[in-house]
Amino acid sequence: MSLSLDGRYAGPDSPRDMGWVMPYAHTDVARDHLTSLWGPATTALLGRVNAEGFLGFWPTVVGADGVDPRDEAFARWLVGTDKVVLSSTLGQAPWERTTIVDAPAARVVADLRAAQGGDILVLSSASVIKELLRAGEVDRLALTVFPVFLGGGPRLFDDGLPAGQWELVSQSAGAHGTLALVYDRVTAVDA
């Protein structure tokens, strides 16, 4: 999930505007961070809005001239992996290897975990991440923090989340002050 220094994932004018991320998303630290996340994942979980954006753009990257190899590798993974899109409005998937599910995110994740695949990667879908955080279904938080204040807009971490402790397991800093952070949830077994 991409966040501003003031904890926002989108600006005040539109929750769908991610243009503020683009000057920083092309840094080595951001690209390497994403690469470390999708490698062990066998399923991409997305909300409908993010699915439309991601799956409308990333397939066009495959085979394009001048593309960073990390971007093309991610695009190939996204096209080729199983995708679950949470939506109450899509009737059928316009993308290959995609299942549309109209169910609460926590129940979908429980079903996916029971299938014993690899990691489930939620790709920047704030509504899905928020629901999973409230349900205690997030084991790892991967954040890319960009050095900008948006001054308004929706926050990822709303009041009322369950109390808990997180352990920093990976950190890197890059150009322009971009930070890539990975936190694992500390469970009673870990403590």
Asked whether residue 31 is assigned to any structural domain, the reply reads yes
Which residues have C-beta within 8 Å of that of residue 97, sequence separation ≥ 6?
A: 79, 80, 81, 82, 83
Show the DSSP H helices in the chain as ranges.
22-25, 28-38, 48-57, 69-80, 105-114, 126-134
pLDDT on residue 187: 84
Asked whether residue 72 is assigned to any structural domain, the reply reads yes
Asked whether residue 160 is assigned to any structural domain, the reply reads yes
Which residues have C-beta within 8 Å of that of residue 189, sequence separation ≥ 6?
A: none
Q: Which CATH number is 132's domain given?
A: 3.40.430.10
pLDDT on residue 116: 75
Six token digits for residue 13: 């004018």
- Beta-bridge mates of residue 181: 143, 171
pLDDT on residue 179: 93
Q: What's the structural domain count of the chain?
A: 1
Six token digits for residue 58: 């990333």
Q: Going residue by residue through the chain (191 aa), what tens digit of pLDDT does each one get?
A: 999 999 999 988 876 777 788 877 778 888 898 889 998 899 999 999 889 888 888 999 999 999 999 999 999 999 999 999 999 999 888 889 999 999 999 999 999 999 877 899 998 899 999 999 999 999 999 999 999 999 999 999 989 899 999 999 999 998 788 999 999 999 866 65
pLDDT on residue 189: 64
pLDDT on residue 118: 82
pLDDT on residue 76: 95
Nearest CA-CA partner of 119 in 37, 31, 30: 37
Q: Which domain holds residue 111?
A: 2-186
pLDDT on residue 30: 87
Asked whether residue 191 is assigned to any structural domain, the reply reads no
Question: Position 59: which residue type?
Answer: P
Please check whether residue 85 is in contact with residue 98, taking contact to mean a CB–CB distance below 8 angstroms: yes
